[in-house]
């Protein structure tokens, strides 16, 4: 199977998180010639972590003029995407997306496999109430048109794969086409096991509405236990003001630093409804159990009673009840670590290449 060019498409390049890690591992396999993205505002050191260079060609859309404020231009995303057409003939196009770029236009001679890392445009579907609040309520009139746009663009990729059975079921219902699950990777060789855990809980993630750090903070305000939160986002100032002194914010940390907290913590706690949640697997590589909301991708990454505990409701009482239960239990770190290894980078690369080969065979037959 020969392609003249290998193209990566991303919704945007800003922070280094789950989507960007996936892009890094795919670049190790395909050595992309070019990147298409709506906006590139990523720091040089993060670009280098993904591509091992800052010289890779990156083509952006007219949204680049908004710089880091590009999210406020959500109504313009469909227009910007139309200006971002892939030009290369006979190219392998891989999009890593949770927003709009699965719908990018490309030549008929090329093939496009789109990897949905979340429920696409979920902020205009189930989670609209988390985003369209405050002054943003004025823009709810755009939701129907963005939903229609999302469904129409689902016909564009040659093949769609998603990160979890949860997202596959969602996307199949929305897009009415065949979709495949491919679990994303966690770098199982990059974490260390520490047998003696310390007396604190940890959570890592973007401080954005859907992660539900508000109820996590309320729970720890009430139980008084030590909680360390690692990450940055639009809600940082609001959450800091909400938290009592037993809750410590570390801001964004490079993975080398955040790993120290993952291996030392007694448990990792997360309250959002994740579409998959690489962040839920990284502590497990360290033998650290996970406490998570029992919905979405957590059902595919956390084994109840073996690698962690799940709580049923996104509220303070449900979180604190499961923490009290956790405090009385013991977990076998070897079982936790072995479970995490099934999501290794090597397994992901092998499985992704198989999906690309199937796409190519289906197109040529």
CB 263 within 8 A of CB 245: no
Separation CA 45–CA 19 (nearest Å): 16
Residue 81's contacts (CB-CB under 8 Å, 6 or more residues apart) are 38, 61, 100, 101, 103, 104, 153
Asked, for residue 173, whether it belongs to a domain, the answer is yes
CA angle 92, 119, 286 (to 5 degrees): 90
Asked, for residue 193, whether it belongs to a domain, the answer is no
Per-residue tokens: 265: 């913590």
- Same-domain status, 110 and 255: no
- Same-domain status, 149 and 83: yes
Asked, for residue 196, whether it belongs to a domain, the answer is no
Low-confidence stretches of the chain (pLDDT < 50) are: none
Separation CA 67–CA 81 (nearest Å): 16
- Same-domain status, 143 and 88: yes
pLDDT value at residue 1: 61
CB 161 within 8 A of CB 113: yes
CATH code for the domain in which residue 258 is found: 3.40.50.2000
pLDDT value at residue 152: 97
pLDDT value at residue 365: 66
- Same-domain status, 246 and 283: yes
- Domain containing 295 equals 201-341
Q: What is the pLDDT of residues 303-336, one digit of tens each?
A: 999 999 999 999 999 999 999 999 999 999 999 9
Domain count, the chain: 2
Of 272, 275, 307, 276, the C-alpha closest to 292 is 272
Q: What is the pLDDT of residues 15-57, one digit of tens each?
A: 888 899 999 999 999 999 999 999 999 999 999 999 999 899 9
CATH code for the domain in which residue 172 is found: 3.40.50
- Same-domain status, 146 and 227: no
Taking the model in full, what pTM does it have?
0.84
Asked, for residue 192, whether it belongs to a domain, the answer is no
pLDDT value at residue 360: 87
- Same-domain status, 125 and 211: no
Asked, for residue 102, whether it belongs to a domain, the answer is yes
Separation CA 23–CA 279 (nearest Å): 16
Residues pairing with 315 in the sheet:
none
Asked, for residue 70, whether it belongs to a domain, the answer is yes
- Same-domain status, 227 and 356: no
- Same-domain status, 79 and 180: yes
- Same-domain status, 180 and 252: no
- Same-domain status, 220 and 333: yes
Asked, for residue 190, whether it belongs to a domain, the answer is no
- Same-domain status, 26 and 149: yes
- Same-domain status, 272 and 290: yes
């Amino acid at each position: 199977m020969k392609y003249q060019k290998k193209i990566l498409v991303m919704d945007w390049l800003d922070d280094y998180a789950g989507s960007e890690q996936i892009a890094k591992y795919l670049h190790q396999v395909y050595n992309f010639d070019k990147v298409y993205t709506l906006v590139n505002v990523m720091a040089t050191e993060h670009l280098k972590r993904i591509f091992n260079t800052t010289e890779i060609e990156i083509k952006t859309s007219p949204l680049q003029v908004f710089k880091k404020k590009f999210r406020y231009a959500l109504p313009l995303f469909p227009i910007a995407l139309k200006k971002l057409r892939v030009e290369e003939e006979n190219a392998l196009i891989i999009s890593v997306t949770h927003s709009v770029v699965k719908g990018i236009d490309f030549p008929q001679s090329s093939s496009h496999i789109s990897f949905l890392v979340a429920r696409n445009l979920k902020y205009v579907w189930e989670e609209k109430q988390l985003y369209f609040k405050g002054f943003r309520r004025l823009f709810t009139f755009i939701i129907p048109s963005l939903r229609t746009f999302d469904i129409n663009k689902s016909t564009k990729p040659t093949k769609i794969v998603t990160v979890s059975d949860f997202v596959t079921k969602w996307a199949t219902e929305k897009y009415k086409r065949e979709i495949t699950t491919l679990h994303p990777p966690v770098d199982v060789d990059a974490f260390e096991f520490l047998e003696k855990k310390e007396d604190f809980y940890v959570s890592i993630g973007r401080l954005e509405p859907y992660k539900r750090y508000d109820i996590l903070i309320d729970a720890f305000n009430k139980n008084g236990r030590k909680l360390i939160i690692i990450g940055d986002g639009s809600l940082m100032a609001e959450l800091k003001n909400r938290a009592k002194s037993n809750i410590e914010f570390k801001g964004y940390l490079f993975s080398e630093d955040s790993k120290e907290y993952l291996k030392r913590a007694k448990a990792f706690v997360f309250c959002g409804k994740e579409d998959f949640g690489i962040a839920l697997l990284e502590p497990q590589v360290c033998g650290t159990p996970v406490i998570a909301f029992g919905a979405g991708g957590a059902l595919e990454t956390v084994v109840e009673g073996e690698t962690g505990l799940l709580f049923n409701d996104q509220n303070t009482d449900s979180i604190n009840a499961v923490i009290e239960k956790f405090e009385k239990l013991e977990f076998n770190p070897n079982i936790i670590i072995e479970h995490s290894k099934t999501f290794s980078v090597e397994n992901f690369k092998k499985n992704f290449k198989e999906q690309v080969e199937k796409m190519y065979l289906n197109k040529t037959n």
